[in-house]
Amino acid sequence: MSEAALRVEDFSFRYRDTKRYAVRHLSFEVPQGGFLCVVGPNGSGKSTLCNALVGLIPHHFTGKLHGTVSVFGSDVSKKTIADLSTDIGFVFQNPFNQLSYTANTVAEELAYGLCNRGVPRDEMVVRVEAIAHTLRLDGLLERNPLELSGGQVQRVALGSTLILNPKILVLDECTTQLDPLGSEEIFDIVRALNEDGMTVVMVDHDMERVARCADTVLALRDGNQVALGTPREVFGMAGLEEQGVDIPDFVRVTRALSASGLADGDIELTEGPTIERVREAMGR
Ligand code: ADP
Ligand code: MG
């Protein structure tokens, strides 16, 4: 059996100078090539978990920590952030935190990590152009990153991470600044990368998208792990909404139909927009 990309063992963390643990007793694994979605209400510990997966906890945020987080079998607390960044890429919840604030152009911003790794200039130019094309930033390469819209900064933030070709990609609500079409585009890219073998951990609040993308869903509430399983298992769980965890509309519809005797209550997670699944469930 191959080594898990990420392994979290009874992990708890309390930020310095706070009273409450932000996450408690988290335990799960993400196999290589897996797609884990993390869901839960605001303040449930999703960003804290991301910080721990990429080593910002304990290397940047200090506090009280129990348990371990391992990347490809190595404890993140024993590796440097620089070492970790060769395996794992992180797209922050706030894309403005991702900017270097030293690059004068989008091209320089995208190339920033490559520069730090001493990648030759010719190769750098090719990779910047390729990633700009993927993320539809072609026309913006000479612009100042500080003059971009939020959605454009979000694309640049993703680009500056993807250009390093990480084995594991951690995305913390990475499309909040984008319109629905822009978000779908980003998710198509992430899904394609996952199909090509990249391990993905994604925090997202769009439950339809989660059900569509994830092979495993982790639901958090108040820092506790309240559900872990396939989208079908997790969204099919009774009482999840009472835990403050949102569920996809089509699950709600399927439940309502089964309660009124119109369907057998088995949740189908198929491709396609919600409305089609709803029509299907209603036999239209
Ligand atoms: P989510 O991403 O699910 O909204 P967070 O991980 O941001 O949740 O927050 C979980 C808890 O940790 C919250 O109570 C929050 O106030 C606290 N927290 C988050 N970041 C910090 C920080 N840098 N310092 C202190 N407390 C924090
Ligand atoms: Mg968050």
* Coil/strand/helix, residue 251: helix
Please determine, for residue 155, whether its predicted confidence score (pLDDT) is greater than 90.
Answer: yes
Average pLDDT, the chain: 90
Q: Is residue 49's pLDDT more than 90?
A: yes
Distance 140 CA to ligand 2 centre (A): 28
Give the span between the Cα atoms of 55 and 189, in whole angstroms. 25
Closest CA to 135 of 176, 170, 185, 99: 185
pLDDT score recorded for residue 234: 92
98 C-beta neighbours (distance < 10 Å), count: 22
Residue 275 has pLDDT above 80, yes or no: no
Residue with token string 């769009």 = 206
The environment of the single-atom ion ligand 2, i.e. residues with CB closer than 5 A, is: 46-47, 93
Question: What percent of the chain has a predicted confidence (pLDDT) above 90?
Answer: 75
Q: Which of 15, 56, 202, 220 to mutate to test the pocket of ligand 1 (most atoms within 8 A of CB)?
A: 15
Does pTM surpass 0.75? yes
Can you give the pLDDT at residue 281?
Answer: 53
The tens digit of pLDDT for each residue in 234-250 reads 988 878 888 788 888 88
Q: Which residues of 42-72 are buried (b: 16+ CB within 10 A; e: fewer)?
A: eebbbbbbbbbbbbbbbbeeeeebebebbbb
Q: What's the pLDDT score for residue 160?
A: 96
Residue nearest to atom 22 of ligand 1 (CA): 15
Evaluate: CB of 199 within 6 angstroms of ligand 1: no
Instruction: Please give the Cα distance from 175 to 185 (Å, whole number).
Output: 10
* Closest CA relative to residue 221, chosen from 204, 241, 245, 203: 245
Pick the CATH number of 6-237 from 3.40.50.1820, 3.40.50.300, 3.20.20.150, 3.40.190.10: 3.40.50.300
Q: How far is the CA of 70 from the centre of ligand 1 (A)?
A: 21
Residue nearest to ligand 1 atom 1, measured at CA: 43
pLDDT at 269: 53
Closest residue to atom 27 of ligand 1, CA basis: 15
- What are the sequence ranges of the domains in the chain? 6-237, 248-284
What atom of ligand 1 comes closest to residue 49's alpha carbon? 6
pLDDT at 198 over 70: yes
Structure tokens at 54: 């990429």
* pLDDT value at residue 249: 82
Burial class (CB in 10 A: 0-12, 13-18, 19+), 37: buried
